[in-house]
Amino acid sequence: MLSVGIIGLPNVGKSSLFNALTVGKAEVSNYPFTTIESNTGMVPVPDPLLQQLADVLQPEKTTPCSIRFIDIAGLIKGASEGEGLGNQFLGEIRQVDVVIHVVRCFATDDVAHVFADVDPVRDLGVVDTELVLADLEVLNRAIAKRDRDWATHPAEHVRERDRMLSYREALESGTQLRDIATTPDDRRELKRAGLLTGKPVLYLANASDLESGVVDTLRSSCSNASVLALDVGLELELRQLDPEERAEFMSELGLERSGLDAVVGAAFDLLGLIRFFTIVKNKLQAWEVPTGTTAPTAAGQIHSDMEQGFIRAKVTQATDLCSQRSVQALQQTGKIRTVGKDYEVQDGDVMEFLFSQ
Ligand SMILES: Nc1nc2c(ncn2[C@@H]2O[C@H](COP(=O)(O)OP(=O)(O)OP(=O)(O)O)[C@@H](O)[C@H]2O)c(=O)[nH]1
Ligand SMILES: [Mg+2]
């Protein structure tokens, strides 16, 4: 199961964000290092297309995709050398696939800041520097271990050597590995090697005063990563209202969709996931799979027997099903295709699997 880690300096609102996302009860307080043991929770992925399908099909039950969020303890300067339980916390970040890096942009004297003032660009740099230093240490150890092999069999290892040395050079100049390792395969390899800066990241500016220009400064300082501004305190308040009150409050504020939906949507995209739908016994369900997944592997998400016994699948697009309004109508217009084991699942496919038992 792919997961998203929430990281950042202490006391920036990570657990508050986690609670807003999961309707959870992680401990939140106005002093640093409230979180020591990480909190984990599953979050349903908001999906307008699934909702449309449900409106058309009126199933007994509708189940959306969900992704795992992990609220990790705060990192401080020196974390890469073990400061503030840094090794443990960095180890937890190594396990996740995508990082949401929360940066404090709200100013209030009630909440202690590990530094004296609010300066998101500096804060972001402090945490990112620790991640780069931690990666350098891991990489240097790996290079030292491989060095003898490289010397004795240079031709065999030329690619591995070049890659590792280029990663080291990038880190030494302060470049995060995600800027040079961009394919899903590269990312998986970096994760296996325990490297942190190759993970896709979303910077989340926790801001109550979005007019302040602080967020713009942050945006221009990290031009090649996405920055999303969110008032975590407000989102938490919204989450605690019942749906009617929430809708009313949101329309008063001129908000079209909850900022949390935007966060979950962005995390889903960064994970490189797509979703397909099944309708079995009047139950509609969305399933997440990595981009490029073949039909048998997708069937295996539902049950391993379905992958092993996969014969073929019937496929249509959810948008076609929504516009034709019934499976029979789709059949008549020839919009249902039969596909084999090499078929790559497309985002928004509605699939029916045929398998031997
Ligand atoms: N004013 C304001 N306060 C906030 C906001 N988000 C969080 N806080 C407050 O900031 C303090 C820290 O929030 P937490 O969610 O515990 O922060 P954390 O990053 O998990 O902290 P650690 O676990 O200690 O690293 C709490 O007092 C929150 O109520 C916000 O958007 N605005
Ligand atoms: Mg916390």
Task: Give per-residue pLDDT as tens, 159-172.
Answer: 888 989 999 999 99
Ligand 1, from 111, 126, 236, 263: best to mutate by most atoms within 8 Å of Cβ?
Answer: 111
State the CB neighbour count (10 A cutoff) for residue 308. 13
Site residues for ligand 1, CB cut-off 6 Å: 10-16, 28-30, 32-35, 73-74, 106, 108, 111, 206, 208, 231-233
Do the beta carbons of residue 67 and residue 42 sit within 8 Å? Answer: yes
* CB neighbour class for 215 (10 Å; exposed up to 12, middle 13-18, buried from 19): buried
d(CA 11, CA 7): 11
CA 19–ligand 2 middle distance (angstroms) = 10
Q: β-pairing, 61-63 with 201-206?
A: unpaired
Residue 240 confidence (pLDDT) above 80: yes
Residue 245 confidence (pLDDT) above 60: yes
Residue 31 confidence (pLDDT) above 80: no
Predicted model pTM: 0.90
Mind listing the pLDDT tens digit for each residue in 323-347? Answer: 988 888 888 888 899 999 999 999 9
Q: β-pairing, 66-71 with 337-339?
A: unpaired
Residue 211 confidence (pLDDT) above 70: no
Ligand 1 nearest-atom number relative to CA 102: 19
Given its phi and psi angles, is residue 174 left (phi above 0), alpha (psi -120 to 50 degrees) or beta?
left
In the chain, the domains with their CATH numbers are 3-44+66-136+188-269 (3.40.50.300), 292-355 (3.10.20.30)
The amino acid sitting at 184 is: P
Backbone angles phi, psi at 341, to 5 degrees: -75, -15
Per-residue confidence at 353, pLDDT binned at 50, 70, 90? very high
Ligand 1 nearest-atom number relative to CA 74: 25
